Amino acid sequence: MLDLNDVALFVHVVRNGSFAEAARQLGMPSNTLSRRVQQLEAQLGTRLLQRSTRKLTLTHSGELFHERCSGAVEGLLDAGQQLMTGSQEPSGTVRVAAMADFFDFFPMEWVADFLAKHPQVRLDFVLSDARADLIAERIDIAFRGGVLQDSGYVGRQLLGAGNEGLVASSDYLNKRGVPATLQDLDNHDCVSFAHPSGLTTWRLMGPDGVEEDIQITSRFNGNTAQALRKATLAGLGIALLPPTITNLDLQAGRLVSVLPHYYRTGFGLHLLYPSRKHLPLAVSAFIELVMEKLKEQTFPANV
């Protein structure tokens, strides 16, 4: 029979990213903690962690085992803490991974209200357009755009896919002219996400329902949708952006739609977390906040 204490120790090591940090928090020698995890691996008959001087990496078996047991362990610890304190209030730290320009669309006032309502909760945001490794970076909740991969985690859709359209500033169009056909983009500067090859091709759906490829010249590249939006507002070229990024600018006349019958299907937005069961109250509370606030809101796709 597995020693559930060893399972809990394994989860704690993964949670902290190293034996040394986990041992420090637990108040036990690092070599003792390592030995207990080795005993667990021996019982399971498989290696769970690849050890190196720089970092720990979960093996495939380790990932599967962690996904199955981490929620239960965290839930038990959370339940025990609640019983000891006599409180049913959410508490502890929630680490959230999101795109770099997250707070351009998720008002900080929502965060302030949440923290005021739950004084024992701390929020730790990891903002990057790179996909976070939920295990290695100890992430509780991740916002993720695009097609959701089958990772063993729980995914909840926040927004469905929207159609991205071509936009430019009036100043740019006054100087360079308005393209009448897709091929006219050959004579225009564009604003785009950088491609490793140095060449960027937009695949757009046309008015006849047929997709067309157009290779564009981009004099400004960026790695966030907000950077591209600001470059487009500054008149640096034509951009292909989701409506949730450009709607307000279009309504205010700061941007103008270009070739409106051409579009690219965008990506939905999902909320990703380890398990439906045994979620810490603080994590559940934040998920509830997100679902409530974004139910009738718009949000940018993560391209």
The pLDDT > 90 percentage for the chain reads 29
Least confident range of 35-49, 81-95, 269-283: 81-95
What is the Cα–Cα distance from 153 to 55, expressed in whole angstroms?
23
Any residues with CB less than 8 A from the CB of 73 and at least 6 apart, and which?
7, 8, 11, 278
Question: Which amino acid type is present at position 24?
Answer: R
Dump strand ranges (E) for 228-278.
238-241, 256-265, 269-273
pLDDT tens, residue by residue, 144-187? 766 555 455 676 766 655 688 999 999 999 999 999 999 999 99
Least confident range of 8-22, 111-125, 175-189, 228-242: 8-22
For residues 53 and 37, which has the higher predicted lDDT (pLDDT)? 37
pLDDT tens, residue by residue, 68-109? 787 777 666 665 555 544 457 888 889 999 888 788 778 899
pLDDT tens, residue by residue, 238-273? 999 988 788 889 999 999 999 999 998 766 677 887
Question: Taking the C-alpha atoms of 275, 280, 281 and 284 in order, what is their torsion angle to the nearest 10 degrees?
Answer: -30
Q: Which CATH class is domain 4-84?
A: mainly alpha
Residue 256 has what DSSP assignment? E
Structure tokens at 176: 């360079």
What was the pLDDT predicted at 64? 84
Structure tokens at 240: 């292909």
What was the pLDDT predicted at 129? 75
Say if CB 193 and CB 237 are below 8 A apart: no
Q: Name the CATH superfamily, with its identifier, for domain 89-161+268-294.
A: Periplasmic binding protein-like II (3.40.190.10)
DSSP assignment string, 262-275: EEEE---EEEEES-
For residues 199 and 171, which has the higher predicted lDDT (pLDDT)? 171
- CATH fold match for the domains 89-161+268-294 and 163-265: yes
Domain ranges, ordered by start, for the chain: 4-84, 89-161+268-294, 163-265
Q: Considering the chain, what is the average pLDDT of its residues?
A: 82
If you average pLDDT over each of 225-229, 252-256, 271-275, 282-286, which comes out highest?
252-256
For residues 65 and 52, which has the higher predicted lDDT (pLDDT)? 65
Identify the bridge partners of residue 202 per DSSP, sorted by sequence position: 214
Structure tokens at 66: 């962690």
**pLDDT greater than 90 at residue 224:** no
Q: Which CATH class is domain 163-265?
A: alpha beta
Element (H, E) at 192: strand 189-193
